[in-house]
Amino acid sequence: MAAAAIHAGGGLADHIHPEPQGFVRKYVFSIDHKIIGIQYMITAFLFMILGGMLAELIRVQLMKASGGLMTPETYNEVYSVHGSTMVWLVIIPLLTGGFGNLIFPVQIGARDVAFPWLNMLSFWLFPPAGLMLYASFLMGAPTAGWTEYPPMSLQGGAGTSMWAAAIFLIGVSSTMTGINFLVTILKMRAPGMTFTRMPLFVWGQFVTAPLLMIATTALGAALAALFVQRQFGVAFFDPTRGGSPLLWQHMFWFYSHPAVYIMILPAFGMISEILPTFSRKPIFGYKMIAFSSCAIAILGFMVWAHHMFTSGLAPALQLPFMVLTMLIAIPTGVKIFSWVTTLWGGVIHMTTSMMFAIGFLATFTLGGITGVFLAAVPFDLHAHGTYFIVAHLHYVLVGGSLMGILAGLFYWYPKMSGRLMNETLGKWAFWLFFIGFNGTFLPMHWLGMWGQPRRVAMYDPQFQAWNQVASYFSFVMTAALILVLVNALWSMRNGKRSGPNPWNARTLEWQIPSPMPYYNFKHVPSVFAAPYDFAEPLPYRGLEEELDGAPPPVPAAH
């Protein structure tokens, strides 16, 4: 075994700030990555409750073919804000700002992210942006969906401009997070933590960060253009004055396709941590999984126009976008096959976290397969803009990202609170969620194929039966999510004490106490192998004092 790099000393890694005192500096305007991560999670879960309520309004409205609960105008506002909330205020903050902040700096053996103050700023842009989005209800919320295609969005109420401003703020926050994470991973890894020894969750954050940084800025440009078009009549998208509605679609999807990967790559990373831990077995094909994440991220920038096959894209452009999109199936397939193989020959501990991870494998596979269908232009000509799309996107975002988030919540909860979540409640929640989710979204596949367009407040009566099925199952799914929430709140005080490493996991965050102390490590460890060899001793040096009564490190003089 090659000798691990010697920790040089005297540098940033040993530069510890004194722990802030007082409630405000400690828990509100904190610069500690762990507190910021928890802040992100709490805020995002609060928005998830709001977005979930909107989702249930949608499902109740669609119980009857003639609608009935809301006017079409209100319904349009509801689903637009639902989509915007779930994408920008729930999934992305949870995966990057939340779990990213909380876990990955510890996993690379750092004491904090590269720019803690910037990190705090990133977080504090997020709640105001969310409130701005919901404030738009007071002035006529956006109605044209989360995509806000002009000229429709030019006709929308005053809230549409508010929407653009809110999402712009979120974008600034994401960009800063991306820069911060990228520099942290590039520069602040512990000695010996080479790229091929990084845990796969870190790899997930590493390929997501550039997406956050680059794609989100492009969205910022699009939103700024929409805003000035609406407020000052600047003719970007107005066809009557030489502008082009398709320009928005290009600018929007240049962000929003990579955003799809922002919403799934960190979840891939989580799954890649959870599966080997609970199978007691190295992740199968570490390098291929890491490499395929990079391939997905790069290809993700080259496929945006597959959302525009029916929009009037030049035929010569449709072909490369179709073929490139299909190519993404290859790295994604490699990942799924590797995960399934990781299960083979393991000693599988069926914890709630593991059940969500395995559920993720099944539902995400289905979402991925329908994604490949949609890449084929002729099929997309039929399915575009129908409930088939709704089904596909919820299979990847709920069945993929959200399942990953729930798996991660059960897995890393002890690292936040020092306690375990209740397993019995958790397993109930899993089965209810799994059944409710599939019952809600599976029928939407054939509803779309048969002719139900998306974003409608009322629909043809022959679709009513299946819509009712979807609505009833959605109540089950909501119940499951409430159960998870109750579980998390209840376990905060009453959960079983977890100790530092309840799952017997091997990445660095499990080698320090739970909850994690302010300075993370008493001594920055050295790393000399990848963390997945369950039959070997831990591949770290310098962790001997973490769990005993040794005194914490001395803060640097300032």
Query: Does the protein bind other proteins through residue 551 (CB under 8 A)?
Result: no
Q: How many residues does the chain have?
A: 558
Q: Between residues 43 and 553, which has the closer beta carbon with respect to other proteins?
A: 553
C-alpha dihedral over 32, 421, 543, 5, to 10 degrees? -70
Q: How far is the CB of 151 from other proteins (least distance, A)?
A: 5
Q: Between residues 41 and 188, which has the closer beta carbon with respect to other proteins?
A: 188
* Contacts of other proteins in 387-446 (CB under 8 A): none
Query: Does the protein bind other proteins through residue 300 (CB under 8 A)?
Result: no
* Contacts of other proteins in 479-538 (CB under 8 A): 504, 530, 532-535
Q: How far is the CB of 325 from other proteins (least distance, A)?
A: 10
Q: How far is the CB of 492 from other proteins (least distance, A)?
A: 27
Q: How far apart are CA 366 and CA 245, in angstroms?
A: 33
Mutual orientation of helices 464-494 and 423-450 as an angle, nearest 10°? 160
Q: Is the dihedral of CA 495, 499, 504, 508 positive or negative?
A: positive
Q: Which of 490, 488, 484, 501 is nearest to 543 (CA)?
A: 501
Which element (helix H / strand E) includes 424? helix 423-450
Strand ranges (E), 424-557: 526-527, 540-541
Q: Between residues 49 and 235, which has the closer beta carbon with respect to other proteins?
A: 235
Q: How far is the CB of 493 from other proteins (least distance, A)?
A: 27
DSSP for 191-244, written as a single string: TT--GGGS-HHHHHHHHHHHHHHHHHHHHHHHHHHHHHHHHH---SS-GGGT--
> Which of 233, 499, 513, 555 forms a contact with other proteins (CB under 8 A)?
233
Distances (CA, A) of 493 to 281, 351, 419, 488: 33, 21, 8, 9
Please name the residue ranges forming H helices in 384-422: 387-396, 403-417
Q: How far apart are CA 402 and CA 154, in angstroms?
A: 32
Query: Does the protein bind other proteins through residue 226 (CB under 8 A)?
Result: no
Query: Does the protein bind other proteins through residue 281 (CB under 8 A)?
Result: yes
Q: Between residues 38 and 164, which has the closer beta carbon with respect to other proteins?
A: 164
Side chain identity, residue 497:
R
Side chain identity, residue 556:
A
Q: How far is the CB of 406 from other proteins (least distance, A)?
A: 17
Q: How far apart are CA 33 and CA 17, in angstroms?
A: 13
Which residues have C-beta within 8 Å of that of residue 372, sequence separation ≥ 6?
Answer: 326, 329
> Which of 2, 22, 23, 287 forms a contact with other proteins (CB under 8 A)?
287
26 secondary structure, DSSP code: I
* Contacts of other proteins in 202-221 (CB under 8 A): 213-214, 216-218, 220-221
> Which of 17, 26, 64, 280 forms a contact with other proteins (CB under 8 A)?
280
**Is 393 within 8 Å of 374 (Cβ atoms)?**
no
Query: Does the protein bind other proteins through residue 117 (CB under 8 A)?
Result: no
Q: Between residues 47 and 88, which has the closer beta carbon with respect to other proteins?
A: 88
Query: Does the protein bind other proteins through residue 63 (CB under 8 A)?
Result: no
Q: How far apart are CA 101 and CA 178, in angstroms?
A: 11
Backbone angles phi, psi at 148, to 5 degrees: 45, 55
Which residues have C-beta within 8 Å of that of residue 453, sequence separation ≥ 6?
Answer: 385, 386, 387, 459
Query: Does the protein bind other proteins through residue 228 (CB under 8 A)?
Result: yes
Q: How far is the CB of 229 from other proteins (least distance, A)?
A: 8
Q: How far is the CB of 239 from other proteins (least distance, A)?
A: 3
Query: Does the protein bind other proteins through residue 183 (CB under 8 A)?
Result: yes
Candidates 20-28, 82-90, 92-100, 240-248 — which segment interacts with other proteins by CB under 8 A? Answer: 240-248
* Contacts of other proteins in 333-362 (CB under 8 A): 333-334, 336-338, 340-341, 343-350, 358, 361-362
Residue recorded with tokens 């738009």: 136
Q: Between residues 276 and 525, which has the closer beta carbon with respect to other proteins?
A: 276
> Which of 60, 326, 425, 485 forms a contact with other proteins (CB under 8 A)?
326
Q: Between residues 149 and 428, which has the closer beta carbon with respect to other proteins?
A: 149
Q: Between residues 136 and 417, which has the closer beta carbon with respect to other proteins?
A: 136
Q: Between residues 81 and 481, which has the closer beta carbon with respect to other proteins?
A: 81
Instruction: State the Cα angle at 516 between 515 and 518, rounded to 5°.
Output: 125
Q: How far is the CB of 145 from other proteins (least distance, A)?
A: 5
540 secondary structure, DSSP code: E
Q: How far apart are CA 378 and CA 204, in angstroms?
A: 33
**Is 388 within 8 Å of 369 (Cβ atoms)?**
no
Q: Between residues 124 and 291, which has the closer beta carbon with respect to other proteins?
A: 291
* Contacts of other proteins in 131-170 (CB under 8 A): 143-145, 149, 151-152, 155
> Which of 370, 401, 471, 511 forms a contact with other proteins (CB under 8 A)?
370
Query: Does the protein bind other proteins through residue 38 (CB under 8 A)?
Result: no
Query: Does the protein bind other proteins through residue 3 (CB under 8 A)?
Result: no
Candidates 112-120, 422-430, 433-441, 508-516 — which segment interacts with other proteins by CB under 8 A? Answer: 112-120
Query: Does the protein bind other proteins through residue 36 (CB under 8 A)?
Result: no
Binding track over 441-470 against other proteins, x by CB under 8 A:
--------xxx-xxxxxxxxx---------
Q: How far apart are CA 284 and CA 292, in angstroms?
A: 13
Q: How far is the CB of 105 from other proteins (least distance, A)?
A: 13
> Which of 39, 279, 498, 526 forms a contact with other proteins (CB under 8 A)?
279
**Is 476 within 8 Å of 432 (Cβ atoms)?**
yes
